[in-house]
Structure 1
């Protein structure tokens, strides 16, 4: 068994443990058939786009507002992290099988993002809703700026290396720690991680197994606190897991065929929508 096999095995065991934890705190959630269909669509579309590199969190936040489901922000964030734990695990198993990459770069990303998820998961369930809104708004805005600069070719993100070493690796580790804090506030880190990977001159295809593997470890760690505090939608989470896995299997074979430039414009539009809606929400009284 090599290092990658060990990494996969630990991720599987970690997810199983958190699912058992989830079942322990499962509470009944009443949903109409229409609401179930809406949530199924959200899980499918968001994880299909997540698999091809857009990220699922911004899509889920946008779609739930459009479709009028899962209204509580903190419970929504808990559900997003729990469902992403399974879909990210599936992505990890697929990408590590087909894409070769440097084990040290991968381990640094996984460890630091998981640590960020653990620390932020402890914090977010205890902070004021307005602060959660502010963090989400700021992170989405920053992501949007990075994407826009990339699309306008002001910030070039490209490279051909398959590993990060030296001082760059230390800087990369710090950035991964910060990125790992974002999902606890309802913000996916895919675009931020992908941008940092490209800035360090790494081959773009390497971003996919790194992001999926990091998520497979970070999501269970972040989900633990949300589950313990019962900050999640039970039935909605399960629906998103099943439809999300379906989206992953459909999208995975398309990775080599997607147009990254077009996908980034789509993500930018979603991010802008979230910035606008979150800005409006932050101005409304409790």
Structure 2
């Protein structure tokens, strides 16, 4: 069954790659004016952290905004499109090396994918002000979850590698919601880790579940963002290529790293970005559609 799951993931990755490369090639002479060097560095660093379990969405959003490498409105789409290929690679790695009960794995992967598909169609059409507000709140919640894990407020989990009954239903519903929130720029890792712990599963199981969920949902969500043009093409291409290198460096070469210190730094950056996003949303005064029509006339 695992071979079938991985084969489907490979097909999804191929489908996304074709759509993404076709769109990038079509607009190669209309790329954004951000820096190839800067977005490549951001892609490498964030994917390096991602493979270590720290996550890339929060750090990616923070760095893109801090270094002014993307318009706030298209950051959600950029994160989904840019990290799609790297996360698929991570999905292959972790679903292969860590065992999860088949029904639980398939159920949670499916629910997250459906949630992302339905969510992307809404998020890609939201205004900059709404995106700023959603991301500000989402990043703040992510920081709180990370902080709770660091100070020991979150449950330590159990030994189970699968779920059944009401716990499985809760997991499926929760992962559906987390999949939809992924399209708003909130990473699934920390919430999924919390979900696994609260349901009494082994902490190790969180890795194939969260990487697998993201690997399946991101191609579906990302294709919609690509078709809407709601993403930064240059940053996404850098994340997709240079970012993969960061994953292999973190996975295969790094033996010891002060993860604890890095996590505290990430929490600080995420909180800063959350506050910055919320302040921008409060200051952003959108022009009513009827006024826009008058100006265009």
Q: Is the CA contact (8 Å cut-off) linking 1:157 and 1:195 kept in structure 2?
A: no
Shift of 1:122: 0.7
* Residues 1-286 of structure 1 aligned to structure 2 (within 5 Å): 3-26=1-24, 27-28=27-28, 29-30=30-31, 35-70=35-70, 72-253=71-252, 261-262=260-261, 264-286=263-285
Corresponding residue pairs, total: 282
Counterpart contact for 2:138–2:185, Cα < 8 Å: no
8 Å CA contact 1:137–1:279 kept in 2: the answer is yes
Moved over 4 A (4+): 29-32, 254-264
Whole-Å separation in 1 of the counterparts to 2:164 and 2:189? 21
Q: Which is further off, 72-81 or 11-20?
A: 72-81
Q: Give the TM-score, by structure 2 length.
A: 0.88
Contact 1:52/1:255, CA 8 A, preserved across alignment = no
| Cα distance, 1:192 vs structure 2 | 0.6
How many Å separate the matches in 1 of 2:205 and 2:255? 12
- Which digits, 9 at most, give the CA deviation of each residue in 1:22-49, with x for residues without a partner? 23322124467x8111101110111111
| Greater gyration radius | 2
When residues 275 and 235 of structure 1 are mapped into structure 2, their CA distance, relative to the original with a 3 A threshold, is closer
User: Normalising by structure 1, what TM-score?
Assistant: 0.91
SS where residue 185 of structure 1 aligns?
coil
* Structure 1: runs of 5 or more not aligned: none
Q: Which runs of 5+ in 2 are unaligned?
A: 286-297
Please give the alpha-carbon distance, in whole angstroms, between the structure 2 residues aligned to 1:262 and 1:203: 24
Q: 1:255 to 1:189 in 2, by over 3 A?
A: farther
How much has 1:147 moved relative to structure 2? 2.6
